[in-house]
A and B are shown apart, each in its own frame.
Chain A
Amino acid sequence: EVQVVESGGGSVQPGGSLRLSCAASGFTFNTYWMHWVRQAPGEGLVWVARIDGDGSTTTYADSVKGRFTISRDNAKNTVYLQMNSLRDEDTAVYYCVRRGGCCQDWFDPWGQGTLVTVSS
């Protein structure tokens, strides 16, 4: 079964840091782009970042560029999201998602999500 499972969420003060992890299984991990998508409370879905199969190419939403870093460890079948200089508006459920198709970025499957709360 293709599966992604997030961990690492929690509460942090503004300006703090947090690292999310996403463990993947059931597919050839190093051949798939991986993404993070977030959903703030009561809001819609927002794409955050993506990384290619070997980790050499990354892309970010403007709202997190320079503060968040996506990376991966293909030996561990895990993708990470390092979040620094966190702001109140980063409060959200963060979903790890796999590129659905071989070459295009629809998202399938989605993990259960991990909640990040930024508050003083």
Chain B
Amino acid sequence: DIVMTQSPDSLAVSLGERATINCKSSQSVLYSSNNKDYLAWYQHKPGQPPKLLVHWASTRGSGVPDRFSGGGSGTDFTLTISSLQAEDVAVYYCQQYYGTPYTFGGGTKVEIK
């Protein structure tokens, strides 16, 4: 199984400041035949279902604000919130869909400082 490791477990950021979340996979999720990274990011707010933010490591989902951006390739990925808003308080998860069993990172809780 591909193990996804996120860091940090939690972070507190001031409103308007940048938040960066890291995700590392135990093996590459870059598929050489199409040069795509099989990596997604989700936002999970209390009392709501998770919401897709990014797929293919850097492609924003429909309606996702452009302050959210995904980066990285191979085994190391980041999700950046360029200017944290109050509504961004949530737990964020990365997920690999390179192969089954699909696996998620342990989550990173983002709070306001």
Contact = CB atoms under 8 A, between A and B. Distances in A.
Interface of A: 35, 44-47, 50, 59, 61-62, 95, 100-101, 104-113
Interface string B35-79: 000101010100011111001000001000000000000000000
Given A45-B95, A50-B100, A100-B52, A107 B40 contact: yes
Interface of B: 38, 40, 42, 44, 48-52, 55, 61, 93, 95, 97, 100-107
The 4 closest A-B pairs by CB, nearest first: A110-B49, A106-B40, A108-B52, A47-B102
B40 A62 contact: no
A61 B101 contact: yes
Query: Interface residues of B: mostly helix, strand, loop or mixed?
Result: loop
Given A44-B93, A45-B95, A47-B101, A95 B107 contact: no
Nearest to A105: B97
Contacts of A101: 55
Nearest to A101: B55
11 contacts: A44-B104, A44-B106, A47-B101, A47-B104, A59-B100, A104-B38, A107-B52, A107-B95, A109-B52, A110-B49, A110-B51
Contacts of A62: 101
B106 A105 contact: no
